Structure 1
Amino acid sequence: MFQTFQETARPDQGPPRLAALRAEMAREGLAGFIVPRADAHQGEYVAPRDDRLAWLTGFTGSAGYCVALSDRAGVFVDGRYRVQVKTQVADVFTPVDWPEVGLADWIADNLPDGGGVGIDPWLFSVEQLRALEAKLDGVTLTRCDNLVDRIWEDQPNPPRGAVFAQPVSLAGEPHEDKIARLAQGLGEAGACVITLPDSIAWLLNIRGSDIPRNPVPHGFALLNADGTVELFVDARKLADLGDHLGDKVSVLPPEGFLAAVATLGGRVQIDPASCPVAVADVLAERCEIVEAPDPCLLPKACKNAAELEGARAAHLRDGAAMVRFLAWLDRQTPGAFTEIDAVTALEAERRATNALRDISFETIAGTGPDGAIVHYRVTEATDRTVREGDLLLIDSGGQYVDGTTDITRTIAIGDVGAEECTNFTRVLKGMIALSRLRFPQGLAGRDIDALARASLWEAGLDYGHGTGHGVGAYLSVHEGPARISRMGTIPFAPGMILSNEPGFYREGAYGIRIENLIAVEQAPGLPGQTVPRMLRFETLTWVPIDRRLIVPALLTQAERDWLDAYHEEVRARIAPLVEGRDAEWLAAACAPL
């Protein structure tokens, strides 16, 4: 099996580990130490070796910080993890609502007499450190060794997963052409530092296996203005790559990266949002630093024709697997199966495609109150029986060589309450609103996020996460720079793939989320249109939405028409891929509302 269900940390481990960290802080003369969920590559996902936040605190979410002081320790989590963190950390840690409460504000309030707070300069970007230092008064952020590494006796080794080529037929463009195109865009800079694993993978048309669920390799790169790339990676990972990289890419040991940076001169470009402070410190000694976004970000986000065609194919394959799973689910007897049973059955259907490389993240299968934990991960200790009257929230995805999928469906287990159905319908209205949207080019996620929440807001309800994130082309399931959220500032452009996933969560009772992936495309013109260029979303995900949870009276006629048309399209696309009782289930699930 791909997925495991063992506990990764125990609350009783928190107190001794925090005590050991504080002993190291005292030895260094520090008043505090910050532990982010980050690694030297500054991507969202970390290898087991770098999951210091989880090891120290027990919190396993994908974003957060711990600030350990001599007398208290705060664990900073965003809206996705407010419920989860309470169940995972020991009482020696205090959950802090972030970003509503900023790190700098909390540190200032809890260190009124000032002092030195240690940071590992590899684990903070230039932008993060700048923002922290701007708000701190009387507190010095001190660069130092990683104190967690000193006390983590059985810390895993650095990953050394195999690297393999992504065929041009799927990538849509030779990596030599990408290198040349991006090198020309460097302007007067002689080189550009790239540390993000998915940027390096996209640029060189390679994929790797250093990060669980994400097909990316660890490494560093220098993109040079002369159209060459220096790739700093463990050469043993490239054994099966052959001559794919060609003569424009030189391979060097990763431990030589900082020394190579130290030899650079003139103008060097960095992305302050992802360049580690340790690298910028070295550059600042002899270079003129030019700050600009990672040159791979937008080209990677705007999928080309081959990548979009691959995404469509992957979603049809994945949609058929989901239909087989949902048909299986409806045949189960409530009370006779558990969350782990559901996860196992769904993964089996994806593996049965014989095309699955991996799941794209740990499957979320939360029934009843577990569904209210936004990024719930079932373990053998938390495995709950799925019972009559429950809502079962399933958020999952697959990594296929031609595309990455991510889908959420909320399923009624028997008869559920009127409140659940009403709130499900409000969430559905938000998802449909974005699916039907036409909008002028130039708008960003913050301009449309409210449309997904409007029906919930009418009832005084909301959800504490963004409405959508970018998705890679057989790359990371979370991909920047565009997103649908109040903080989304990057304008949408054709080819971007995003999630559309409003939700609602009643703590201790149930969770609701409905998620399709969508791709930005140019909208056809309308008679009398005065806006020069309009965009819209192409739906990529084709899986039925549970009609048993819908209150038809809450839907407008346009919303009903969209849902019926969507289900008819699901039936037309997926019916040829399933058979027998699964096909019968699909036909019933796609009946008009």
Structure 2
Amino acid sequence: MFQSFEDTARPDQGPPRIAALREIMAREGIAGYLVPRSDAHQGEYVAPGDERLAWLTGFTGSAGFCAVLAETAGLFVDGRYREQARTQVDTTVITPVDFPETRLADWLRAGLPDGGTLGFDPWLYSAGQVGDLEERLSDSAITLQPMENLVDRIWPDRPSPPCGKIVPYAENLAGETHESKRDRLGRSLGAAGQEAAVLTLGDSIAWLLNIRGSDIPHNPVPHGFAILHANGHLTFFVETAKLDDAARRHLGDEVTIRPPEAFGPGLRSLTGRVRLDRGSVPLWVVQQLDAAGVAHDWGEDPTILPKACKNDSEIAATRNAHLRDAAAMCEFLAWFDDQPEGTLAEIDVVQKLEACRRATGELLDISFSTIAGSGPHGALAHYRVTDTSNRRLEAGDILVLDSGGQYLDGTTDITRTLPVGDPGEDERAAFTRVLQGMIAMSRTRWPEGLAGRDLDAIARHPLWLADQDYAHGTGHGVGVHLCVHEGPQRLSRISEVPLRPGMIVSNEPGYYREGAFGIRIENLLVVTPADPLPDGDQHGKLCFETLNFVPVDRRLVEIDMLCRPEREWLDGYHAQCRDKIGPRLSARARLWLEEATAPL
């Protein structure tokens, strides 16, 4: 199994570990210390040795941070993780704080009214994060102090850094050689008057060099740092044990390999202006350049947009991956519907679904830990079943099943909500509203230049009409055999990045009733130019192409709530599922698919 069901949260360990951290804080003479979820690469998913937030507090969610003061400790989490945080930490010592509704600066002012020094590890915070916090605290007596990592000093058995093998990524899947990518992006640096750019994001380096790694669970990226020069040359700071002869031949003479400890001297030896991404480069990098008098400009990581806007080869590859994955999903759903009520638990669901994906013979990993939340667990948007929490599916439940696979030709992510027996009217009505939002986003056309924030409300509108909503974005970017969460594009009210052809986003509205049930329906979409309409008088529109082809469960649909275009869209989508996936299925699954996709 790629997925573990071990319960790694240790709420009982929070109090003694917080106490140990406070002892060091007192010796260092600081009033507070910040512990983020992130690592030195600013990735969402981190290696075991970088799970400092989970080790200190017990909270295992993929986003959040803790601020520890002498008398209080706040765990800042957003709407996806609030219920989870309350169950995973000792709330007598650690107080969950609603973020971003409560800003860290405001919380610090209340906790440190007379001021004080707040310590943080400059490897774990970007220059932008530190600068923004300093600005918000500028009218207070609180100062920020970069320092060594204090959690590492009290973590006696901290795991060693990963050293996963790096492998070349095929050119026919990447659609462009890494020599071409480096040359193209290097010239863009030169045109901006910059001599180099610092890259710290694992997926940026993997994409640029056409390599994949294995340092992070479920995300095929390597740990390392890179400096891209305007002449296209690149210096790659990475553990040499990760590179075999094939990887070295792939990288070639224009990529210089240096050990990680050479990164600091390499930064300090740079000349000319250096581009830094304020949102991702650790403050530590800025400190090295400043110490050596190396000028820097703030600018976006040069790989971000080219990586986000997939080329024709990448889109063709990921289409194939999604068809393969859809067949595995349909085999699972046919099996699921054959199981008698009361015989399955959440872990059974996760294990069987992974087995169906493995049966393709091409699954390299899952793309994230499968979310299989039944009944009240479905209300936890990022629930992960453990041996402790494993719940039997009961008649009347609905199951939120969010999962994905890593294949050489693509990264998949799909959510379906499934009935167990006959759910109630409230559940079916809420499901139908979520479906209406998903359909509305799938059908939308928009003028070029609009961003995710301009479209986000389209998926929420049916829920808003019933005074319902969901506390997460409507969609995130997705890579091609890279990270399942990829920027900079999102369908979110806070995303200002214009959507461009080739970008892949998820479309996943939901609804969650705490303690009762959850609903989410998710497909992946790729942005594509829209064909002109015969009677239209405007051009330059964009639209979405759907990548996933797995039936939406019709047993949860209140058909009378759907308007004619919505019914037509769903029937048309189900017809595509039959045509595209049917030939790939076993006889039993084909029969199931015919029944599951019958017209409304």
Question: What are the residue-to-residue correspondences of 1:12-411 with 2, within 5 Å?
Answer: 12-91=12-91, 92-136=93-137, 137-186=140-189, 187-239=192-244, 240-285=246-291, 286-411=293-418
Contact 2:488–2:497 at 8 Å: present in 1 too?
yes
The residue number in structure 1 matching 2:578 is 571
* Alignment partners' CA distance in 2, 1:522 and 1:413: 40
Alignment partner of 1:438 is 2:445: yes
Could you list the per-position Cα deviations for residues 322-370 of structure 1 after superposition, in whole angstroms to 9, with x for gaps in the alignment?
Answer: 0011111111122211000000000000011010010000000000000
State the 1:282 CA deviation.
1.5
Q: Match for 2:11: what amino acid?
A: P
State the 1:36 CA deviation.
0.4
Q: Match for 1:169: what amino acid?
A: N
How many residue pairs match? The answer is: 593
Please say which of residues 54-63 and 355-364 is displaced more in the overlay: 54-63
State the 1:82 CA deviation.
1.2
* Structure 1: tracts of 5 or more residues without a match: none
Q: Match for 2:152: what amino acid?
A: D
Alignment partner of 1:455 is 2:469: no
Question: What are the residue-to-residue correspondences of 1:546-585 with 2, within 5 Å?
Answer: 546-585=553-592
Alignment partner of 1:537 is 2:537: no
Q: Match for 1:197: what amino acid?
A: G
* Alignment partners' CA distance in 2, 1:108 and 1:334: 54
* Alignment partners' CA distance in 2, 1:523 and 1:303: 17
State the 1:532 CA deviation.
3.3
* Alignment partners' CA distance in 1, 2:392 and 2:144: 48
Structure 1 residue aligned with 2:486, among 479, 483, 489? 479
* Alignment partners' CA distance in 2, 1:9 and 1:258: 35
State the 1:102 CA deviation.
1.1
Secondary structure in 2 matching 1:56: helix
State the 1:529 CA deviation.
3.1
Could you list the per-position Cα deviations for residues 25-60 of structure 1 after superposition, in whole angstroms to 9, with x for gaps in the alignment?
Answer: 111001110000011111222111101001111111
Please say which of residues 519-528 and 411-420 is displaced more in the overlay: 519-528
State the 1:530 CA deviation.
3.4
* Alignment partners' CA distance in 1, 2:563 and 2:9: 47
State the 1:258 CA deviation.
1.1
State the 1:90 CA deviation.
1.0
- The alignment-based identity, stated in percent, is 59
Q: Match for 1:300: what amino acid?
A: K
* Alignment partners' CA distance in 2, 1:243 and 1:531: 50
State the 1:409 CA deviation.
0.2
State the 1:527 CA deviation.
2.9
State the 1:582 CA deviation.
1.1
Q: Match for 1:381: what amino acid?
A: T
Secondary structure in 1 matching 2:249: coil
Q: Match for 1:396: what amino acid?
A: S
State the 1:531 CA deviation.
2.9
Could you list the per-position Cα deviations for residues 271-301 of structure 1 after superposition, in whole angstroms to 9, with x for gaps in the alignment?
Answer: 0001100101111231221111000000000
Secondary structure in 1 matching 2:499: coil
* Alignment partners' CA distance in 2, 1:335 and 1:57: 35
* Structure 2: tracts of 5 or more residues without a match: none
* Alignment partners' CA distance in 2, 1:45 and 1:299: 22
* Alignment partners' CA distance in 1, 2:341 and 2:132: 51
Please say which of residues 231-240 and 282-291 is displaced more in the overlay: 282-291
State the 1:63 CA deviation.
0.8
TM-score w.r.t. structure 2 length? 0.98
Structure 1 consecutive aligned stretches of length 4 or more whose deviation exceeds 6 Å = none
Contact 2:404–2:412 at 8 Å: present in 1 too?
yes
* Alignment partners' CA distance in 1, 2:248 and 2:151: 38
Contact 2:460–2:469 at 8 Å: present in 1 too?
yes
Contact 2:436–2:462 at 8 Å: present in 1 too?
yes
* Alignment partners' CA distance in 2, 1:107 and 1:363: 36
Could you list the per-position Cα deviations for residues 410-453 of structure 1 after superposition, in whole angstroms to 9, with x for gaps in the alignment?
Answer: 00101000000000000000000010011111010000100100
Q: Match for 1:200: what amino acid?
A: I
Contact 2:501–2:527 at 8 Å: present in 1 too?
yes
* Alignment partners' CA distance in 1, 2:78 and 2:370: 20
